[in-house]
């Protein structure tokens, strides 16, 4: 997997996890304020689409994840 694949996978996981923690019908429910985390992840994906900068992408590149497929 390349950097953008990892970004999408991790963002998707965080969105699903925060929804599971925020929805009252979920057995994992903790607080409705977890929806703020969902919004933060979505906002980060949106700004990444326009600016091309993502803090997670920077971290992944630093630990050696490839940027392009060979």
Of 51, 54, 53, 52, residue with least CA distance to 11: 54
* Percent of the chain with pLDDT strictly greater than 90: 96
Question: What is residue 11's predicted lDDT score, i.e. its pLDDT?
Answer: 96
φ, ψ for residue 14 (rounded to 5)? -65, -35
> Across residues 54-62, what is the average pLDDT?
95
Is residue 70 scored above 90 in pLDDT?
no
pTM to 2 decimals?
Answer: 0.87
Is residue 34 scored above 90 in pLDDT?
yes
């Amino acid at each position: 997997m390349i950097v953008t694949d990892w970004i999408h996978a991790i963002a998707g996981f965080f969105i699903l996890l925060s929804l599971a923690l925020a929805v009252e019908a979920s057995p994992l429910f903790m607080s409705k304020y977890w929806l703020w985390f969902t919004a933060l992840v979505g906002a980060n994906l949106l700004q990444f689409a326009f600016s091309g900068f993502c803090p997670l992408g920077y971290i992944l590149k630093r630990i050696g994840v490839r940027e392009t497929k060979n």
